[in-house]
């Protein structure tokens, strides 16, 4: 398998993934359940992020990251309606997130949600011209001028501390021309991390709750990366060449797509990806129907018995053992 991955072009698996995605697109969409934001329920939403996989530099000498460390990045565009990545690029880990994808501009009306690694004035300006809506975090040292503070309802949205209209006013912003655009800045309190995050967007009309919920959707792509790393083989590799590594990652993506297709189409009740993946792994070599695996095969969980507690006054079992004749 290692020799096969080395010699067979990884683009075979890359092309197969996109063909499968195109063929089953409508089925995957119709059976996907995600959190729907009512104000924008018919909009196309893209989540952009990347994940890093560490590699041993002495074995993967092509994947240079730091002086004594290797690694690669999987740059991903996640389609919210599809519930799967519809664009993937694998690069060396040293490639910045901003330059990890060939195309960061999408069709008119597309909503793009990303982290502040993609915060770039020229990119934001291109998206405004393409009539994309971006929702991202602003960098801490960004210079801006506050023009207006919008009112927030008193009885709800307690996590949204401030909603204001701003203009970027740094020299770099003036150079790109984005200083002429009115933007919106939300200050949102995250209770789980006990901190305030600042979300910037070029949409001035949607409610503050919609913007905050949009940024919260980034958790979907984080769960995807976690599921891939925990359940599919993308942390240890059969081959050490660049072609072998990319082949194995695209094979893992194909596996994820097929597992999601089966889970969404056949499973009558909700089940986590890790549990479903484990059931398929156990039953893979048995002649069983998909309906049986998805709906009739239930995991048996036995309660562990608590061991008896010993005290200082308990007799040692060794004194009860009989001696063996030599």
Ordered DSSP codes for 147-197:
EEE----SSS-TTEEEEEEEEE-SHHHHHHTGGGS-EEEEEEEETTTTEEE
> pLDDT under 70 in the chain at which residues?
157, 301-302, 310-326
> How confident is the model at residue 58, as a pLDDT?
84
> How confident is the model at residue 311, as a pLDDT?
62
Q: Is residue 256 part of a domain?
A: yes
Q: Which of 120, 108, 98, 132 minimizes the C-alpha distance to 176?
A: 120
- Kindly state whether residues 223 and 286 are assigned to the same domain: no
Q: Is residue 75 part of a domain?
A: yes
- Kindly state whether residues 94 and 39 are assigned to the same domain: yes
Cα within 13 Å of Cα(56), Cβ side: 6
> How confident is the model at residue 102, as a pLDDT?
86
> How confident is the model at residue 310, as a pLDDT?
66
Q: For 17, phi and psi rounded to 5 degrees?
A: -60, -50
- Contact 202/183 with Cβ under 8 angstroms? yes
- Kindly state whether residues 225 and 277 are assigned to the same domain: no
Q: Is residue 133 part of a domain?
A: no
> How confident is the model at residue 316, as a pLDDT?
56
Total domain count for the chain? 2
- Kindly state whether residues 237 and 276 are assigned to the same domain: no
- Contact 87/101 with Cβ under 8 angstroms? yes
- Kindly state whether residues 257 and 282 are assigned to the same domain: no
pLDDT in tens, 106-164: 999 999 999 988 999 999 999 999 999 999 999 988 999 999 999 887 777 688 999 99
- Kindly state whether residues 232 and 286 are assigned to the same domain: no
Q: Is residue 155 part of a domain?
A: no
Q: Is residue 109 part of a domain?
A: no
106: DSSP letter: -
Other Cβ atoms less than 10 A from the Cβ of 157: the count is 15
- Kindly state whether residues 228 and 291 are assigned to the same domain: no
Q: Tokens standing for 319? A: 């004194």
State how far the alpha carbon of 214 is from the alpha carbons of 47, 51, 115, 225, 234, in Å.
10, 20, 12, 19, 29
- Kindly state whether residues 257 and 273 are assigned to the same domain: no
pLDDT in tens, 42-58: 899 999 999 999 998 88
The pairing of strands 45-55 and 111-114 is parallel
> How confident is the model at residue 317, as a pLDDT?
53
Q: Is residue 117 part of a domain?
A: no
State the burial class of residue 314 (Cβ atoms within 10 Å of its Cβ: 0-12, 13-18, 19+).
exposed
- Kindly state whether residues 248 and 288 are assigned to the same domain: no
> How confident is the model at residue 112, as a pLDDT?
96
Q: Is residue 51 part of a domain?
A: yes
What string of H, E and C letters represents the secondary structure of 34-103? CCCCHHHCCCCEEEEEEEEEEECCCCCCCCEEECCEEEEEEEEEEECCCCEEEEEEEEECCCCHHHCCCC
Instruction: Report d(CA 111, CA 244) in Å as an integer.
Output: 34
> How confident is the model at residue 313, as a pLDDT?
59
- Kindly state whether residues 236 and 291 are assigned to the same domain: no
Query: Alpha helices of 284-318 — where are they, by DSSP H?
Result: 290-291
> How confident is the model at residue 193, as a pLDDT?
84
- Kindly state whether residues 31 and 87 are assigned to the same domain: yes
- Kindly state whether residues 69 and 45 are assigned to the same domain: yes
Q: Is residue 309 part of a domain?
A: no
Domain hosting 255: range is 2-103+217-261
């Amino acid at each position: 398998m290692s020799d096969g991955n080395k010699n067979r072009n990884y683009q075979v698996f890359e092309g197969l993934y996109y063909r499968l995605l195109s063929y089953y697109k409508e089925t995957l969409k119709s059976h996907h359940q995600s959190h729907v934001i009512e104000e924008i329920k018919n909009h196309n939403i893209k989540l952009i992020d990347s994940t890093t996989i560490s590699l041993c530099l002495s074995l993967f000498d092509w994947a240079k990251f730091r002086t004594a460390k290797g690694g690669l990045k999987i740059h991903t565009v996640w389609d919210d309606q599809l519930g799967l990545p519809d664009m993937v690029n694998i690069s060396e880990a040293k490639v910045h997130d901003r330059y990890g994808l060939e195309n960061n501009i999408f069709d008119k009306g597309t909503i793009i949600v990303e982290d502040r690694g993609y915060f770039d004035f020229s990119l934001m300006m291109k998206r405004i011209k393409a009539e994309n809506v971006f929702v991202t975090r602003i960098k801490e040292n960004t210079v801006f001028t506050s023009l207006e503070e919008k009112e927030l309802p008193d009885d709800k949205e307690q996590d949204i501390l401030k909603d204001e209209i701003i203009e970027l006013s740094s020299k770099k912003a003036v150079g790109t021309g984005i200083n002429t655009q009115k933007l919106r800045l939300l200050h949102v309190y995250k209770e789980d991390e006990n901190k305030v995050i600042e979300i910037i967007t070029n949409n001035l009309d949607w409610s503050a709750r919609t913007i905050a919920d949009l940024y919260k959707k980034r958790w979907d792509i984080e769960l995807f990366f976690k599921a891939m790393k925990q359940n599919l083989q993308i942390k240890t590799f059969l081959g050490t060449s660049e072609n072998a590594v990319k082949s194995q990652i695209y094979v893992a993506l194909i596996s994820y797509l097929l597992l999601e297709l089966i889970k969404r189409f056949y499973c009558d009740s909700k089940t986590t990806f890790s549990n479903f993946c484990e059931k398929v792994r156990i039953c893979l070599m048995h002649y069983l129907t998909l309906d049986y695996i998805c709906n009739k095969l239930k995991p048996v969980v036995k309660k562990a018995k608590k061991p008896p507690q010993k005290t200082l006054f308990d007799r040692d079992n060794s004194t009860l053992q009989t001696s063996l004749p030599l």
